[in-house]
């Protein structure tokens, strides 16, 4: 059982590290630090592809945290890849599956950490679905006979979406169905700047 838990946390860590890398790439393209001379439509296709992959990684990480229950409900779970469908399936099994953004409030002399909910805007499940649909349209080639406007409209500037994703994940917790334990996840742990997961038993005061 311990090996299985370590395997799942390792998979979750890998998803988060990949998200960090892709967010950095998107940020660099938008700020013209990467591929500065690229044609705008190709830059937006690159951004769309990586934003979609980021959303897929968020969905896969949620599946990892609830793998045992998800696998029992979906025999072919290893073949699942559509992020919006995975969100629907996870929500049916566990309404509180989505990452919950938090901020460290204080740590007492006994090492007990106190967290509070984030008040800044973060990527909600509704945001996730809308952005996923937009990115899904952009990554496919236009039909040469389409009468639709060939305009890439993310609804907000790309940097706005980057901030919302970062706020969602910067420090978040994951609640697994049927378990008291939480995973508290730091995307940039202060000591080494890497992703860290801490198991925690929540106490309501």
Question: Which residues fall within 8 angstroms of residue 45, CB to CB, at 6 or more apart?
Answer: 138, 139
| Any domain includes 107 | no
Q: Does the pLDDT value for residue 170 go beyond 80?
A: yes
pLDDT at site 141: 79
Compute the distance between CA of residue 37 and CA of residue 43 in angstroms, rounded to an integer: 9
Give the sign of the dihedral formed by CA 124, CA 129, CA 130, CA 135.
positive
**Predicted confidence band at 108 (pLDDT cuts at 50, 70, 90)?**
low
What tokens appear for 100 in the block? 């919950």
pLDDT digits (tens, 9 = 90+) for 117-164: 998 999 999 999 999 988 888 877 777 887 777 667 888 999 999 999
Q: Which residue has the tokens 């830059």?
A: 43
Confidence band for 184, pLDDT divided at 50, 70 and 90: very high
Distance separating alpha carbons of residues 33 and 53, to the nearest angstrom: 21
87 found inside a domain:
yes
Question: Tell me, what's the pLDDT at 17?
Answer: 96
Residue 183 inside a domain? The answer is no
Domain assignment present for residue 51? The answer is yes
In a domain, residue 115? The reply is no
Q: Which residue has the higher pLDDT, 56 or 85?
A: 56
Residue 111 within a domain: no
What's the pLDDT score for residue 1? Answer: 38
Kindly state whether residue 182 falls inside one of the protein's structural domains: no
Domain that holds residue 15: 2-97+122-167
In a domain, 201, yes or no: no
Closest CA to 90 of 9, 99, 109: 99
Do residues 205 and 62 touch, judged by C-beta distance below 8 A?
no
Total count of domains within the chain:
1
Model confidence, pTM = 0.86
């Amino acid at each position: 059982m311990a090996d299985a838990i370590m395997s799942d946390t390792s998979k979750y860590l890998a998803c988060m590290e990949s998200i960090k890398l892709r967010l950095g790439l998107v940020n660099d393209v938008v700020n013209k630090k990467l591929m500065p001379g690229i044609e705008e439509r190709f830059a937006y296709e690159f951004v769309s592809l990586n934003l979609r992959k980021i959303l897929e990684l968020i969905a896969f990480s949620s599946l990892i945290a609830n793998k045992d229950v998800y696998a029992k409900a979906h025999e072919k779970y290893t073949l699942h890849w559509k992020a919006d469908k995975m969100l629907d399936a996870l929500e049916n099994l566990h309404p509180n599956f989505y990452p919950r953004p938090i901020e460290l409030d204080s740590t007492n002399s006994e090492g007990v950490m106190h967290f509070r909910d984030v008040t800044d805007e973060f990527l909600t499940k509704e945001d996730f679905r809308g952005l996923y649909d937009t990115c899904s349209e952009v990554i496919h080639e236009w039909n040469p006979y389409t009468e639709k406007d060939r305009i890439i409209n993310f609804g907000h500037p790309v940097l706005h979406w980057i901030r919302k994703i970062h706020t969602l994940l910067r420090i978040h917790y994951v609640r697994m169905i049927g378990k008291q334990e939480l995973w508290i996840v730091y995307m940039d742990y202060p000591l080494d700047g890497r992703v860290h997961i801490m198991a925690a038993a929540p106490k309501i005061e």
